[in-house]
Structure 1
Amino acid sequence: MKKEKIVALSLISLASVALLAACGSKSATQKNIQFSIPTDIDTLDSTIVTDQYSYDVIGNVEEGATRVNPKGDAALALAKSIKVSPDGLTYTITLKPNLKWSNGDKLTAKDFVYSWQRAVNPKTGSEYAYLMGAVANANDITAGKKSVDTLGIKANSATQFTVTLAQPTPYFKFLLSEPVYYPLDQKVVEKYGKQFGTTSDKMVYDGPFEFKSTKSWTGTNKTFSIYANPDYYDKSAVKSKEIDFQVISNANTGAQLYKQKKLDFTLLPTTDLIEANKGEKGFTVFKQARTDYIEYNQSGKNASSADAQKALANQDIREALNLATNRKAIIQTALPDSTPATSFTPVGMSKTSSGEDFADYAKQDYTYDAAKAKELWEKGLKETGLSKVTLSLEAATDLAASKVTANYLQTSYESTLPGLTINLKLVPFQQRLKDAQNGTFDMVLSGWGGDYAEPSTFLQLFTAGQSYNDGKFSSKTYDSAFKAATTTPDVLSQAKTDADYKTLEDTLYKGSYINPVDFQANPALMNPDVKGLQFHSTGLAYDLKTAYLK
């Protein structure tokens, strides 16, 4: 394992910033932080969580061996020490002593073994099991080729376990901070079965905060609270006794509640709200490592019609749609402070061996060209024997920016591409996730936020058979380049790895397999009296462990 690569990853990983660093110990007695999220959370089960908003809650009530700190490093959390073998394949993880779950159960190495085996078990259906692919035999287990007990993790004692990797993975300590790598209390999971994590009382917690019976999450309620966990090993660092959450899907309502001092944090997802609040005290812009993009159903099934399936299987038609996407206009209309996407991997997340931003190094020619789009569209229609086609475009109606973007695209596509009709399908965010996962769409406006600061967190999504490859396209060139970047001995040469990753971006662009729209920014209003909140561009976006109201 090359030392310079480890250092580089350590310096840039999860480019995060500690906002208004915590100070003072009396803050916990002050008014509770009132924190809003735009959609309902879906689960508290760290193994099956898929959306950012559920993750924002889970990451504050649960924890793994590592936790990303204010400097952006994967710092020790439940782990007391992590020793890595010279070849980078073996990790010996020793836990802190006397760890407990919120129900009083001891937290041991076996809880990690159980959780990781549960994650890769095909019966669990974890869509984030792919993140376990770094661990030996994980991919074969998820494919049903090996039993779960062959996974490369073994408990040596109550406080120590050994992990064997499939290949050297320089960012593995960051993976340990991800929910799918969190431990689980087997007794509690088996007690509740399929109901585990569906409400806050069907859970136990090991993080800075916990749920209680008061102000709990019932699975559907719009307001709930988390409380400082008295059994947390680092409880002295937790500055708030209670943090209150509100689900506010109407962004205008959120802004008004902020101005009435009834909210301390709310997102501003629309142009009008951003312009109206730029002078407001507490206006800020959070730069996430996140890309919004359009996926095309290339599976050959579940599309809205046979004509839609035929059209989206045609590369010229997909390229025409990409060229007809006016990214600058979309940002002006719906996504101020975001930037037009020039690759799938976003800017500001990771650097190449030469120190260049990877997104700049792998930049593609995603441009708006209405004339060429029309030309390719007509060529594609001729090739498919179609004279006109109707395509559905699905987006989340409870995410204001997505709704506005979809409306803009409907008008723009229909005016640019003759014979095209766009039927908008506006559904709640959770339904959009389900439809994408089930492949029941023609085109869907999706988004992906990085889990760690390395291109594979984005580019592994589109390997053949990957659960997040919703469009179900397959490219041997893509799969070969990804394998070369992540599993061959050359993985220890970052320059070679950079080149392989760039091949992946080239392949996505040349095949028009997806349509990157923007690198997302999140304008928000945050009470200047909120101190110690840590924002991370990847992984857990809003870490509330040290947050408090001054």
Structure 2
Amino acid sequence: MAKKVIALFMAMILLAGVMAGCGNTKNQSAGDGNKGGQEIVVTIGSEPKTIDPTLNNAVDGATMIIHAFEGLTKLDENGQVVKGVAEKWDMSEDGTKFTFYIREDAKWSDGQPVKAQDFVYSWRRALDPATGAEYAYQLYYIKNGQAINEGKMPAEELGVVAKDDKTLEVTLESATSYFLELTAFPTLFPLREDAVSKDPDGWATKPETYIGNGPFVLASWEHDSEIVFKKNENYYAADTIKPSSIKFMLIADDNAALAAYRNDEIMLADSIPTEEIPALQQSGDIKIDPQLGTYFYVLNVEKAPFDNVKVRKALSLAIDRQYIIDNIAQGNQIPAGAFVPFAVPDVEANPDFRTVGKDYYDPSAEAYENNIKEAQKLLAEAGYPNGEGFPQVELAYNTEGGHLAIAEAVQEMWKKNLGISIKLTGQEWKVFQDTRQTGNYQIARHGWLGDYNDPMTFLDMWTSYSGQNDARWKNADYDKLIETAKVSGDRAERMKAMHQAEDLLMGEAPIIPVYYYTDVYVVKDYLKNYYNSPLGFKYFMYATVEK
């Protein structure tokens, strides 16, 4: 059964787009902009920590950002790179230099033209150590990017130059096969220096200063209630944008989100109570789409007893992943025996990276009893036989979603199988992100969706210099392997280095993979033509309401 599920999961991502619903001509007014256009009302979570493209590191914030900004490239409904702000580009023969030509009709939401200098400013801001952008490492591919972020070089040395207002020249450290995908990622979006510099901390919270260049513009933000975006009539492709507005309801409680959905107050709810999933499957409201991502726990290796690799491995082996999937998550997830999920290409797309790399332990229900025995043995070797002398530690999770139920199951498994007690601490999403990022935790719930479809997006986050390395785990050999994979132009060599890097990551176990994600949500059958990306973003700019 597991092989069939995996095969279906891979096929869905590798061979098909993830379009939800097909449009028809029932409602011709859907594309009439603010004159007769429609309002899309959805919830994708609670109050976002930020919608500043430079500072955001969460999927909910990114979904809002991609509606208000656009990069040099963008991804279409099949996840393919297409022209964005750049109408064309040239690449040098060795793949290390790009010249982007910005379209003449690219404008900001206030009508000013988008310029090459807007990208230069944005990318330098992201790499400025004072900015503290967690995604700064996505710009390390650009010449001198890492040195600038580490304070070793001035920002002016970055390999990006505005040759004129409409020509941007980018020099890379080495050829990067997925660089065009990166230019569609929010951290690399352009920014207006005059808007940001006047209020660096608050510009992205107010409609009057949140100047974007995408299909929508921020109209209002009632904190902890709703964020509304209205169609940007200055967008170069405004005539292709269907809704007149998108209202993101900020709902923290899954039960409240489902109630709003059932009362026809919202058209889509991105997170629902897991106990309601069986009934929603019967009603036909629920959708389960593939995602390139992994649900896991991260361990702060700077804090005892998690500085002991045997403790970390024991905790991982004592989790019954299939039980969590069958009884709590209930979304056809796949138990994770590694970190990089299925459907990420290897040297070839098939067999994929996960199939080639195999599991690092058997996550199946059949292997669980043997895993418990090995976990007990490791914990005893670490100095805590039957959990004796093991300190009470804290597991932090964000209160939105079904994370508490999963944490409670893990808490019980560790108590029953290892004799250790874990305290659970729930935090609101924005607070939790800070807690995890600053290392003010012992064990924390985590999840990661790929930023592009390559193993690197899952592996370079664990380098010693990554702003996403919440485990605070450092391994010089790991860093070297990742650098080898980044600079190599040989695909087989790249994949070999990344497999070796994952060997180190899983061997030292600063993380505990639980399952590979699917996206479980509810949507009205009359909401058509939205796009749910396997990378986690939801696109509503082409959506229509067809009742």
TM-score clears 0.5:
yes
Could you give the per-residue CA deviations for residues 381-434 of structure 1, whole angstroms, max 9, x where no partner exists?
Answer: 259x972221111111122x211111111111111112x210111111221211
1:441 offset after TM fit, Å? Answer: 0.7
Give the match for residue 114 of structure 1.
121
Give the match for residue 467 of structure 2.
467
Matched, 1:149 2:149: no
Range that drifts further, 22-31 or 82-91: 22-31
Give the match for residue 3 of structure 2.
none
Of residues 71, 78, 82, the one that matches 2:78 is 71
1:200 offset after TM fit, Å? Answer: 3.4
Taking the TM superposition and a 5 Å limit, the aligned residue runs for 1:280-295 are 280-295=283-298
Give the match for residue 5 of structure 1.
none
Give the match for residue 383 of structure 2.
381
CA distance in 2, matches of 1:460, 1:13: 23
- State the TM-score, normalizing by the size of structure 2: 0.91
Range that drifts further, 471-480 or 446-455: 471-480
Which consecutive unaligned segments of at least 5 residues does structure 2 have? 1-11
Q: 1:187 to 1:503 in 2, by over 3 A?
A: same
1:161 offset after TM fit, Å? Answer: 0.8
Could you give the per-residue CA deviations for residues 155-185 of structure 1, whole angstroms, max 9, x where no partner exists?
Answer: 0111111000011100000000011110011
1:363 offset after TM fit, Å? Answer: 2.3
Matched, 1:329 2:332: no
SS at 1:287 equivalent: strand
Which consecutive unaligned segments of at least 5 residues does structure 1 have? 1-10, 300-308
Range that drifts further, 244-253 or 389-398: 244-253
1:269 offset after TM fit, Å? Answer: 3.9
AA aligned opposite 2:348: S
Identity %: 26
AA aligned opposite 2:399: T
Give the match for residue 4 of structure 2.
none
Could you give the per-residue CA deviations for residues 121-174 of structure 1, whole angstroms, max 9, x where no partner exists?
Answer: 111111111111111100000000000010010001111110000111000000
1:22 offset after TM fit, Å? Answer: 4.2
CA distance in 2, matches of 1:246, 1:494: 44
Give the match for residue 499 of structure 1.
496
Contact 1:252 1:273 (8 Å CA) reproduced: no
1:442 offset after TM fit, Å? Answer: 0.6
Taking the TM superposition and a 5 Å limit, the aligned residue runs for 1:410-425 are 410-418=411-419, 420-425=420-425
Of residues 193, 206, 221, the one that matches 1:217 is 221
Matched, 1:508 2:508: no
Give the match for residue 231 of structure 1.
234
Taking the TM superposition and a 5 Å limit, the aligned residue runs for 1:197-216 are 197-212=204-219, 216=220
CA distance in 2, matches of 1:354, 1:67: 22
SS at 1:518 equivalent: strand
Contact 1:350 1:455 (8 Å CA) reproduced: yes
Range that drifts further, 363-372 or 463-472: 363-372
SS at 2:204 equivalent: coil
Taking the TM superposition and a 5 Å limit, the aligned residue runs for 1:26-425 are 26-28=29-31, 29=36, 31-212=38-219, 216-218=220-222, 220-299=223-302, 309-336=303-330, 337-353=332-348, 355-366=350-361, 367=363, 368=368, 369-381=371-383, 387-399=389-401, 401-418=402-419, 420-425=420-425
Q: 1:13 to 1:42 in 2, by over 3 A?
A: farther
Q: 1:193 to 1:360 in 2, by over 3 A?
A: same
AA aligned opposite 1:339: I
Give the match for residue 455 of structure 1.
455
CA distance in 1, matches of 2:254, 2:384: 44
CA distance in 2, matches of 1:476, 1:146: 22
CA distance in 1, matches of 2:224, 2:293: 28
Q: 1:495 to 1:277 in 2, by over 3 A?
A: same
1:352 offset after TM fit, Å? Answer: 3.0
CA distance in 2, matches of 1:209, 1:485: 37
Q: 1:13 to 1:224 in 2, by over 3 A?
A: same
Give the match for residue 6 of structure 1.
none
Matched, 1:435 2:435: yes
Q: 1:217 to 1:37 in 2, by over 3 A?
A: same
Contact 2:13 2:290 (8 Å CA) reproduced: no
1:209 offset after TM fit, Å? Answer: 0.8
AA aligned opposite 1:372: E
Could you give the per-residue CA deviations for residues 25-55 of structure 1, whole angstroms, max 9, x where no partner exists?
Answer: 4224365221112221122210111111111
AA aligned opposite 1:317: V
Q: 1:253 to 1:88 in 2, by over 3 A?
A: same
CA distance in 2, matches of 1:57, 1:22: 23
Give the match for residue 541 of structure 2.
545
AA aligned opposite 1:199: K
Range that drifts further, 25-34 or 249-258: 25-34
CA distance in 1, matches of 2:542, 2:24: 9
Taking the TM superposition and a 5 Å limit, the aligned residue runs for 1:501-540 are 501-538=498-535
Contact 2:463 2:469 (8 Å CA) reproduced: yes
SS at 2:542 equivalent: coil
CA distance in 1, matches of 2:501, 2:14: 21
1:293 offset after TM fit, Å? Answer: 1.0
Give the count of matched residue pairs: 520
Contact 2:224 2:251 (8 Å CA) reproduced: no
Could you give the per-residue CA deviations for residues 84-126 of structure 1, whole angstroms, max 9, x where no partner exists?
Answer: 1110000000011032111222211110111111110111111
CA distance in 1, matches of 2:23, 2:73: 20
SS at 1:353 equivalent: coil
AA aligned opposite 2:327: T
- State the TM-score, normalizing by the size of structure 1: 0.91
AA aligned opposite 1:459: L
Give the match for residue 306 of structure 1.
none
CA distance in 2, matches of 1:456, 1:15: 22
Give the match for residue 483 of structure 1.
483
1:452 offset after TM fit, Å? Answer: 0.4
Contact 1:281 1:528 (8 Å CA) reproduced: no
CA distance in 1, matches of 2:537, 2:14: 13
CA distance in 1, matches of 2:29, 2:320: 51
Contact 1:117 1:151 (8 Å CA) reproduced: yes
CA distance in 2, matches of 1:260, 1:105: 42
Q: 1:468 to 1:15 in 2, by over 3 A?
A: farther
Contact 1:89 1:164 (8 Å CA) reproduced: yes
CA distance in 1, matches of 2:457, 2:140: 12
